[in-house]
Chains A and B, each alone.
Chain A
Amino acid sequence: MPADPRSPEPQRLARAALRDVAWEVGVAKPDPAIVVDGVTRTFGGLTAVAVDHLEIQRGGITGLIGPNGAGKTTLFNLLTGFDQPNAGSWTFDGRPLGKLAPHRVARLGVVRTFQLTKALARLTVLQNMLLGAQDQRGESFFRALVPGIWRQQEKENTEKAMDLLARFKLDSKKDDFAGTLSGGQRKLLEMARALMSDPQVVMLDEPMAGVNPALTQSLLGHVKDLREQGMTVIFVEHDMDVVRDISDWVVVMASGRVIAEGPPESISQNQAVVDAYLGAHHDAPLTVEEEDRVLAQAEREIAREEHVEGEVLSSDVPPQERTDR
């Protein structure tokens, strides 16, 4: 679905739609593509994911952030069928996705990339791309034996692949083995390959990790392009500049739970998020009033410590004091 050319800033449609949405966990979105309900996944005693309710706005870029081990990748795995939850359900366009095998989820139009890039090393770049195309007649065993059945489709797919490769500036590498590409180029290839399937939802697991800054800019551009084409993008990222730059909405996870969501500018000021990343006491740059507040808090603690000898300073602050902004 191409963007409306008359609209001055088409990519901000999702942001406009989300303007009036409250900045609270589990809030309902105007037009959700994916709705997650009560999904939990435990590994032994560890609860990797416990999301009560989460809606992902259609046509927007949703950033999924959180410290290491927050359950972001596990949530991705659950949503795309690579892992099955202990409980809960989730839907895409109202269709339940639970219990679907990964390839069925992909066929519905929800494709993903992986944190550790999965370029198919001993296939050429072009073959990698062609693999992404859906409903290929030549992929069935018996029809594969009759080239007449699939040759035309193969030609069309090749043209589409070359278009995409040109967009991602990989067209000159089309006959190279994917294994010879650099890490950043592999990320590009994986994203381009996912686009071969004309997805409706693209889930990118750390698309910028290990990519040099110059390439990051072009990757960012590509992600924004996806939104302009009407796709819903969910991505995991650690670089907050990137998250601020491209996302319409940010979901923050910690210890398997969604602890905050809101537009990107709301997140860096959210105390729960700051605490989750840095602990209650951190040495991030502070504003004047924050400094005053921290100072006052420290003084209170020192005063209290003088009352209770030997208490550990950092852990005796009641939680409401830490998140009272």
Chain B
Amino acid sequence: MGELIDALTVAGKAALGFQAIFFALLAIGINVQFGYAGLLNFGQIAFAMLGGFGIAISVSKWGLPFWVGVLVGVLAAVVLALLLGLPTLRLRADYLAIATIATAEGLRLLFRSVSATPVTNGTRGLSAFNGDFIALAPWDTARRYRFLGTSWSGAELWVALVGWVLVALACLLVWALVRSPWGRVLKSIREDEDAVRALGKNVYVYKMQALVLGGVVGAFGGMIYAVGTGSAVPDQYQNANTFLAYAALILGGAARVLGPVVGAMLLLFILQFADTLLRALIDNGVIPSELLSSTDVAQIRFVLVGLGLILLLVFRPQGIFGDRREVMLDAR
């Protein structure tokens, strides 16, 4: 019983920590692109990497202030979105998917390559760039605090606080946009872009705006991740994270303002809960070690998430927040 409560609190911390914020922001960006505009961005992690490295390179390589680094990260994300969108948004949806997935992988390989080492430190990555940001915390960041039964460092709490404020702002922005006529055009493009064209809307511009907005939100996710870990290593930005963010979005419900946030929290909660509980059960001998060793747990928890997603799609395809009627319309 003690293990269960322990696992719950640890998982609760994970659901509130900077990793959950990272996935929430990635998923909010994807929600704008995929959920509302129907754009398949399979390289959201590339935007996050540019956000994280925007700060890291600016601060530790170029010696610029932290906030300039934030600006650099945002600008880099905007430029990437434009570069990806210009050639592909006039084409069918699949081309954007192909271009983004290739770009995400290509950029990561470029950042970790030997030739990029002078700027990115290659596979070792950059660190010591979040000092200015942590120093802004109104409390002692070196101390540890008890919070909801778990222990948080002051820096962790500060990153989480700023992160959740960012998430809230992003949700507010998305909410304000999708209830407006702008959001209506975006949703219509998802349904049928030719119909929208025939009604006098410049579909290309709306898609581009959605791509840029989603990319910038994703870049903020990358920044939170970078300041949360205190380092920026290219291999942290594996494209699997994009798909985990998609999982979070579907879990929470696509085209719902809070869907990606709740989905990301739940995803991290399930992952951490399964991890902690399984390890505890293995240590106690409840699960025989021949059946499952603690080294397998890291993989098994993803299997559990996959299982959960399958069950979700069978019994609640709209996700937690979605509208079942809306989702079932596609089946017609």
B198 and A112 within 8 A (CB): yes
Quick one: which of B176-211 are within 8 Å of A by CB? 176-177, 180-185, 187-188, 190-192, 194-203, 209
5 further contact pairs, Cβ within 8 A, besides A106-B197, A113-B198, A114-B194: A120-B192, A123-B187, A139-B181, A144-B182, A180-B325
Contact of B326 with A by CB under 8 A: yes
A193 within 8 A of B: yes
CA distance A132 to B188 in the complex (A): 11
How many angstroms from the CA of A80 to the CA of B191 in the assembled complex? Answer: 20
Q: Which of B182, B188, B325, B330 contacts A120 (CB 8 A)?
A: B188
In the bound assembly, the distance between CA atoms of A120 and B259 in angstroms comes to 22
State whether the Cβ of A167 lies closer than 8 Å to any Cβ in chain B. no
A side interface size, CB within 8 A: 43
- A122: chain B residues within 8 A (beta carbon): 187, 190-191, 326, 329-330
**A144 in contact with B183 (CB, 8 Å):** yes
Min C-beta distance of A128 to chain B, whole Å: 8
In contact, A144 and B199 (Cβ under 8 angstroms):
no
**Residues of chain A within 8 A of B330, CB atoms compared:** 121-122
B180-A130 in contact (CB<8A): no
By a CB distance below 8 angstroms, the chain B residues around A23 are: none
Residue of A nearest to B197 (CB): A102
**Measured CA separation A120–B332 after assembly (Å):** 13
Q: List which B197-227 residues lie within 8 A (CB) of chain A.
A: 197-203, 209
Question: A107-B200, A134-B200, A139-B201 are contacts. A118–B195 as well, Cβ < 8 Å?
Answer: yes
Bound Cα distance from A173 to B53, whole angstroms: 51
- Pick from A101, A112, A144, A193: contact of B202, CB under 8 Å: A101
Q: Which of A50-94 contact B (CB under 8 A)?
A: 80, 82
CA–CA, A120 to B209, complex, Å?
21
The answer, among A103, A137, A147, for a CB contact under 8 Å with B200, is A103
Closest B residue to A153 by beta carbon equals: B181
Cα(A123)–Cα(B173), bound, Å:
21
Q: Do the beta carbons of A194 and B199 come within 8 Å of each other?
A: yes
Q: Could you tell me which residues of chain A, from 136 to 154, have a CB within 8 Å of some CB in chain B? A: 136-141, 144-145, 147, 150, 154
Residues of A within 8 A of B196 (CB): 131
Residues A82 and B181 in contact, CB atoms below 8 Å apart:
no
Instruction: Check if A247 is an interface residue, CB within 8 A of chain B.
Output: no
Some 14 contacts from A to B, beta carbons below 8 A apart, are A102-B194, A111-B198, A111-B200, A120-B192, A121-B329, A122-B190, A122-B191, A127-B188, A131-B188, A139-B182, A144-B182, A145-B180, A177-B329, A194-B198
A80 touches B182 (CB 8 A): no
**Which residues of the other chain, A, contact B184 by a CB distance below 8 angstroms?**
123, 127, 130-131, 139
The answer for the CA separation of A281 and B176 in the assembled complex, in Å, is: 65
> By the criterion CB–CB under 8 Å, are B201 and A144 in contact?
no
Closest-CB distance, A69 to chain B (whole angstroms): 21
Select A138's contact among B180, B198, B200, B203, beta carbons within 8 Å.
Answer: B180
Chain B residues near A140: list those with CB within 8 A: 182
Contact A144 B329, beta carbon cutoff 8 Å: no
Query: Are B199 and A197 in contact, CB atoms less than 8 angstroms apart?
Result: yes
Find chain B residues with CB under 8 A from A136 CB. 181
A179 within 8 A of B: yes
Pairwise interchain contact A144-B200, C-beta atoms closer than 8 A = no
Which of the residues A106, A121, A130, A150 comes within 8 Å of B191, measured between beta carbons? A121
Inter-chain CA distance A180–B331, complex, in Å, is 11
Q: How far is the CB of A77 from chain B (nearest CB, A)?
A: 10
Please measure, in the bound complex, the distance between the C-alpha atom of A187 and the C-alpha atom of B281, giving whole angstroms: 61
Q: Are A144 and B180 in contact (CB under 8 A)?
A: yes
Nearest opposing residue in chain A for B328, CB measure: A179
- Of the listed residues A82, A122, A128, A194, the one surrounded by the most CB atoms of chain B closer than 10 A to its CB is A122
- A190→B197 CA distance, assembly (Å): 13
A252 CA to B176 CA in the complex, in Å?
Answer: 50
CA distance in complex: A113, B197 (Å): 11
Contact A150 B181 (CB under 8 A): yes
Query: Is B198 within 8 A of A106, CB to CB?
Result: yes
Complex interface: chain A residues within 8 A of B191 (CB): 120-123
Q: Is the CB of A177 within 8 A of B325?
A: yes
Known contacts A131-B184, A179-B332, A193 near B176 by CB under 8 Å: no
Q: Which of B85-142 contact A (CB under 8 A)?
A: none
